[in-house]
Amino acid sequence: MTSIQKANAPPRGTADMLVVKDNALINASYNLELVEQRLILLAIIEARETGKGINANDALTIHASSYIQNFNVQKHTAYGALKDACRDLFSRQFSYQELSPKGNVINQTSRWVSQIGYIQEEGSVQLIFAPAVVPLITQLEQQFTSYDLEQVSTLKSKYATRLYEILISWRSVGKTPMIGLEELRGKLGLGVNDYKLLANFKLRVLELALEQINEHTDIFVKYEQHKKGRSIIGFSFKFKQKQQSKIEKPIDQKRDPKTVDMFTGKTDAETKNIARAVVKDTSPPANPLLHRASRITTSIITHKLHERFKHGDEGLSSTLKRIQGEIMEGGEETADYWQSKLEDFGINFD
């Protein structure tokens, strides 16, 4: 499928529980309850972690224990939630757009799943994604959004989860264009009779969602209203990454230094050697610009930000050397640019 969304996809994250969705799906209009959204997310992770992948023939299994662990709920709550979600998810639909071979817009509608069942004795759900969904949930698409499940695990509003997904599809620029009011309502899954008064929409949907996102996720968001005359016609959003120290997971002290990192393809020892190769000496060199370049590339290694700044299939070493080369060629202005980008992740260069 060819997604209409043409904005550059944000870079891959490095979290263990990674959710990957095509931007056509992120920008689709659908109405899923919170439990149903969570079930979809767990199915995506199940496919990724087990290596099964997602297709239209094989079932994926989601256990109640996974729901309990990821969303911090009681056992009886998880069992009841999954059972109810099975009953309702089969009837849920979503609409999205794609381009025909001639370049015309096709307005598509699809179910989420073609089959779903709850196994009472095992406390598990088995589901098969609908054929239209399969190519939209994949790690191999060029247009995708990825995020750590942990970021939405404590969100209690279904609108907060949807809005978070929409926002981070613009992570690379930190802001969205103006989204029309009716378009935003559709993306959040609101029906024509849901919160029709703008004041109720802002209070019960938008501001509630932003309050939860700002408190529980890795970004801080503000919104702006856009008016035509006296009428509000849409909203735009700006957001920043929170301090890295607040969202960074503790390093596993028991990790074997010979273990190959799944994202860099290098062992911890090799990563340190790369750092030493790029930054041979931590003492200030005679060239101040080289010193700044060294600090910037060292910070990228230390905070494991290579995935955010790599180009295509570029490896860790190549990424660091490229960035250092850009700084040495572009001078202090380029160094300021890279330092500013890293400061957005809470890195202090004082």
DSSP H/E element including 231: strand 231-241
State yes or no: pLDDT of 176 exceeds 60: yes
For residue 268, count other CB atoms closer than 10 A to its CB.
16
Q: Which of 220, 235, 226 is nearest to 171 (CA)?
A: 220
- Check pLDDT > 90 for residue 239: yes
The mean per-residue pLDDT over the stretch 112-122 comes to 92
Q: What is the mean pLDDT of residues 122-129?
A: 92
Question: Which residue in 136, 145, 149 sits closest to 55, CA to CA?
Answer: 136
Q: Are 319 and 326 in contact (CB under 8 A)?
A: no
CB 88 within 8 A of CB 75: no
Asked whether 134 and 70 are in contact (CB, 8 A), the reply is no
Q: Give 146's strand partners.
A: 20
pLDDT at 1: 36
Helix pair angle (288-302, 268-278), 10° resolution: 170
Mean of pLDDT values over 224-237: 93
Q: What share of the chain is helix, strand, coil (3-state, %, to 5)?
A: 40, 20, 40
Q: Chain-wide mean pLDDT for the chain?
A: 77
**b or e along 303-319 (b: 16 or more beta carbons within 10 Å of the residue's beta carbon)?**
bbbbebbbeeeeebbeb
Q: H helices within 201-267, ranges in order?
A: 207-216, 244-247
- For the ranges 5-14, 28-37, 101-110, 178-187, which has the lowest average pLDDT? 5-14
Max mean pLDDT range (91-100, 136-145, 283-292) = 91-100
As beta bridge partners, residue 3 has: 98
Helix extents (H) in 229-287: 244-247, 268-278
Burial class (CB in 10 A: 0-12, 13-18, 19+), 241: middle
CA distance 307 to 178: 28
Region 109-137: mean pLDDT is 89
* DSSP element (H, E) containing 38: helix 34-50
